[in-house]
Every structure is written in structure tokens, then in C-alpha cells.
Amino acid sequence: MFSKEEKIQKLFFYWLLSSLILVFLIIIIGGFTRLTNSGLSIVEWELFKGIFPPTNAKTWDLYFEKYKTIPQYKLLNFNMTLDEFKIIFFWEYIHRMFARLIGLFFLLPLIFFYFSKKINKNYIKTCILVFLLISFQGFIGWYMVKSGLVHNTTVSHYRLALHLSIAIIIISTIFWMLKNINNKKEKLFFKFSKDYLPYQFLLIIFFLQIIFGAFVSGLDAGMIYQTWPLMGNTYLPDDILLVNFESYIDFNNRSLIQFYHRNLAYFIIIYVIFLIIFIYKNRIKNLFKPTLYLFLILFLQIFLGIFTLLSGLNIFLASAHQISSVLLIFSALNLYFFKVK
């Protein structure tokens, strides 16, 4: 028989696991929302309303008329019918409702675990931080949507990258806690030494690549060069003019962003190969299995990235590419976890 304390601790673990799955699902939903250009279909924040979707013709017309006032409709979707609008509306509606669900699902049990006094205080502190990030994420989501309502036909790719980055931080934090609980450890993530640096650097470049991926998505940069391994007929696209420092950091240049995204992927491949060689050469046996997971998911990510491009940005391949990027983060965290003492 389990004691009351053991039951609460087990419940805490499964609550965190469920939270991880929910955050993972909303990243998928958010990806589809972006890929279907649905994010601007609801032009108001509706923090305390909009719980229920439109149920009659009058309400649907009201939402549709509001959508007609923004540049995306006027410049891109001016031929859209009400039935077509309903499709993009429901993607954004589901995205927002799922976000509300996650907020409540995380807050209410957290209050219970806090007052139970049965959970490690460090875990509770981390969970409070996660809840604050979840709450902040709601604000950032609306901050992102606002960027596409007045002068642009889509959201700012910088704000999109920020929105995705916070989601990655949230899910990574929960994943690290689950690893600690499952292995009965209290390993610190921010533990710096020269032995850990190669694994921390791997996480940094993965995170940077996710940001560039968000830039590619936000700018629709994948639409302009759909060839591989060359960009058109050349390695460096011929529509890029690199004449000064500013031209190298022009993150509004779609060709340059796709070029950086591709080449950072090449760098990651080379870095991971060297890391694998280092691990096996030094016979760090407890990292053999995590390294294999990392390599397999990286191979999948590369495969999906190339075929997403060659397919003309097939929506399902593009979504799978985004999903595998989260799995790649998990695999890098898993490798780092077994390195940290």
C-alpha cells in the first residue's frame, strides 16, 4: 500500500507528464494555425469572452466582418467565403481554447500541491515559474497577433519566434523536472563546467535553429527556394547582396534567413558527429543510448526538412518537421541530463 505522501508524489509526476503532453499538443496546434494562416482570424484578444464559438449566422457574420477590416483579408483573402473563414476561425479558436485549458490544468493542481507540503520545494518553485511563463505566453500570443492586424498580412516573425521560444522553454523545463523525478535526482540544469559545455552548446544551437525555423515560417521563406542542396542554381542564392555588416544581419531578408537555416543545420550535423565520436572514443557508456536517440531523431529532422522543402511545403510534412524539432530538444536534454552529475 502507498502512503498518502507517496500517492501525492505519484500524482504530481503524472500531472507534470500530462502537462508536458498538453504543451506538446499546443505546439502542434500552433504550428497548424501558422501553416494554415489562421492566426489572424480572430482579431480581438477575448481574454474573458469567446469561450463558446459562434452558434448562429449573426455571430458568424460579426466575426467575419471584423476579419474583413484587416490587411490579410483585403490584400490576400478578399475572395474568401464565410465557409472558408470558418475553417481558419476554428484553428485559431481551438488554439486559444487549448491555451486556456493548459493554464487552468496547470494552476489548479499546482495550488493543491503547494498546500499539500508533500512535494519538493524546488519543484514547486519551478512549477510556479512555469505557470508564470504560461500566463506570459498568453500575453505574447496576443502581442504576436496584434502585429498582423494593422499594416501587415501576417504576424511579425520576431514575435512568432518569441512565442515559440517561450513554448520550448516551458516544455523543456517540465521535461527536465520529469527526468529528475523519474530518476530520483535533483540535477541542476544551469550547472557550468568545461565538461558540460559541449552538451550545453548543443542545446544552444538547437534552440537557435528553432528560432531561425520560426523566422522561415513567419516570413514564408520556404516558398522562394524549394531546391536542395543548392538554392536555385547556386550554393549562395544570387538575390543576396552581402556588402556590409547590416546586410549579414538583415533578418527580414527571406533568402538570407533560409540560407542561415540550411547552413546552421549543416553545422549541427557536423557538430553532432564530432560529439558522437568524442563520446564513443572516450567510452562514456552511460551516454551511448542517449546519443543513439539523438542521432536517430536528428536524421529524421534532416529528412523531414529536406522533403518539406522539395514537396512545396506540404502542410503535414512541415508540421512533422516542427514536431521533430521538439523531439530533438528532448533528445539533447536527455543526453545532457545523463552527463550532469
pLDDT per residue as tens digits for the range 320-337: 999 999 999 999 999 999
pLDDT score recorded for residue 110? 97
From CA 168, how far away is CA 153, in angstroms rounded? 26
**Domain locations in the chain?**
1-186, 189-341
The mean pLDDT of 265-279, rounded to a whole number, is 96
Question: What pLDDT is recorded for position 91?
Answer: 94
Residue 234, classed as helix, strand or coil, is: strand
Instruction: Give me the mean pLDDT over the 256-265 stretch.
Output: 96
Across residues 271-298, what is the average pLDDT? 95
> Quick one: average pLDDT of 247-269?
95
Whole-angstrom distance, CA of residue 156 vs CA of residue 142 = 12
Cβ count near 284 (within 10 Å): 14
Q: How confident is the model at residue 103 (pLDDT cuts 50, 70, 90)?
A: very high
Confidence of residue 205 (pLDDT cuts 50, 70, 90): very high
pLDDT per position as a tens digit, 225-257: 999 999 989 999 988 888 889 889 999 999 999
pLDDT of residue 2: 60
